[in-house]
């Protein structure tokens, strides 16, 4: 009986592993162009499947002249989330990769940056240098040139990123802080 149970269990393993493989589109498939919403959301399609897309949420107003977005990069068997924070007045920016969420895939979840698991707290008084200090102290993977990092990190998997002039980390400044330095550039 134990051998039969083991044989049944093992018969499902290849299917489980297959679920994490990247399947290519049919020959001749053309990757759709990137799309951009009026709310600053965006989708940059991956060359293989929708699981390799890079998507950004609508910009949100953090307060104090700062906006934020959550950006997710799909992978074959998981995802990596990061947050972007932009100070529309000082033109300072920071991106922070989410923390590992465990499980089968190496998922990176942005919610784990915030309490109770993480140390990041955002308010209208929190500045980009404050956020950078927290990220440095906590060992969070972070950077200050959001679009450059996005283009450099994913240039092999998403070569079209280099050509996307519409990709704009400060887009939300024009919505929430239209008189700010970044909105008027």
Q: pLDDT band for position 24 (50/70/90)?
A: low
Q: pLDDT band for position 13 (50/70/90)?
A: very low
Residue 12 has pLDDT above 60, yes or no: no
How confident is the model over 162-179, as a mean pLDDT?
Answer: 85
DSSP, residue by residue, the chain? -HHHHHHHHHHHHHHHHHTTSPPPPPTT--PPPPEE-TTS-EEE--SS-GGG-EEEPPPEEEETTEEEEEEEEEETTEEEEEEEEEETTT--EEEEEPEE--SSS--EEGGGGSTTTS-----TT--HHHHHHHHHHHT--EES-HHHHHHHHTTTT-GGGGG-TT--TTHHHHHH-TTSTTTT-
- pLDDT of the residue at 26: 63
Residue 181 lies in a domain: no
- pLDDT of the residue at 68: 95
> Per residue in 65-111, pLDDT tens?
999 999 988 776 778 899 999 999 999 999 999 998 876 667 889 99
Q: pLDDT band for position 162 (50/70/90)?
A: low
Residue 103 lies in a domain: yes
Residue 131 has pLDDT above 60, yes or no: yes
How confident is the model over 150-173, as a mean pLDDT?
Answer: 73
- pLDDT of the residue at 82: 92
Mean model confidence pLDDT for the chain:
79
Residue 13 lies in a domain: no
Between these two residues, 178 and 152, which has the higher pLDDT value?
178
Residue 9 lies in a domain: no
Residue 142 lies in a domain: yes
- pLDDT of the residue at 76: 64
Residue 19 lies in a domain: no
Q: Which pair of structure tokens corresponds to residue 20?
A: 């994490």
Residue 128 has pLDDT above 90, yes or no: yes
Please check whether residue 140 is in contact with residue 97, taking contact to mean a CB–CB distance below 8 angstroms. yes
Residue 175 has pLDDT above 60, yes or no: yes
Q: pLDDT band for position 63 (50/70/90)?
A: very high
**Could you identify the residue written with the tokens 């949100």?**
60
Q: What residues make up the domain containing 170?
A: 33-176
Task: Count the domains in the chain.
Answer: 1
**Could you identify the residue written with the tokens 């972070």?**
142
Residue 28 lies in a domain: no
Between these two residues, 54 and 48, which has the higher pLDDT value?
54
Residue 16 lies in a domain: no
Residue 113 has pLDDT above 50, yes or no: yes
């Amino acid at each position: 009986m134990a051998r039969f149970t083991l044989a049944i269990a093992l018969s499902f393993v290849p299917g489980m592993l297959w679920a994490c493989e990247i399947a290519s589109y049919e020959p001749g498939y053309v990757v759709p162009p990137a799309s951009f919403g009026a709310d600053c959301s965006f989708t940059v399609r991956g060359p293989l499947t929708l699981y390799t897309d890079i998507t950004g949420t609508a910009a949100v107003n953090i307060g104090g002249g700062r906006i934020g977005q959550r950006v997710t990069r799909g992978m074959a068997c998981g995802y990596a989330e990061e947050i972007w924070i932009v100070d529309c007045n000082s033109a300072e920016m920071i991106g922070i990769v989410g923390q590992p969420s465990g499980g089968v895939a190496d998922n990176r979840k942005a919610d784990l940056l915030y309490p109770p698991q993480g140390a990041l707290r955002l308010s209208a008084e929190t500045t980009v240098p404050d956020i950078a200090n927290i990220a440095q102290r906590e060992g969070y993977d972070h950077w200050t040139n959001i679009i450059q990092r996005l283009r450099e990190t994913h240039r092999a998997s998403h070569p079209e990123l280099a050509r996307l002039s519409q990709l704009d980390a400060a887009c939300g400044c024009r919505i929430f802080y239209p008189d700010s330095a970044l909105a008027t550039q």
